[in-house]
Amino acid sequence: DVKVTQSSRYLVKRTGEKVFLECVQDMDHENMFWYRQDPGLGLRLIYFSYDVKMKEKGDIPEGYSVSREKKERFSLILESASTNQTSMYLCASSLGTTQYFGPGTRLLVL
């Protein structure tokens, strides 16, 4: 079974803090994705990566950056957290057409 893990299920941070969300997949997938999920808005793509050290902006990259130093790990970075970044963050990986999702990290920024 494909396994995508995210470092935290719940996270509370203060405005202005630098926040790291980690995602690891164990299936040697080329592609990895970060989404945020908000009620009534569905999932929106923040960044994705097709290979190590490669990254592409998604639909809402502002306020975020990413890092992919190893194939299995894709990190989402909030350089200076703001309250409007309070959300559920979902990581996914894929080799072909199907994306496999992690359990999500619910981030609260106070």
Partner 1 sequence: AQSVTQLDSQVPVFEEAPVELRCNYSSSVSVYLFWYVQYPNQGLQLLLKYLSGSTLVESINGFEAEFNKSQTSFHLRKPSVHISDTAEYFCAVSVVGNTPLVFGKGTRLSVIA
CB atoms within 10 A of CB 76: 23
Query: Applying CB under 8 A, does 60 fall inside the site for partner 1?
Result: no
Q: How far is the CB of 77 from partner 1 (least distance, A)?
A: 20
Identify residue 39 by its one-letter amino acid code: P
Contact 101, 91 (CB under 8 A): yes
Of the residues 3, 15, 20, 41, which one makes contact with partner 1 according to CB under 8 A: 41
Residue 103 contacts partner 1 per CB under 8 A = yes
Where do contacts with partner 1 occur on this chain (CB under 8 A)? 4, 31, 33, 35, 40-45, 48, 58, 90, 92, 94, 96-104
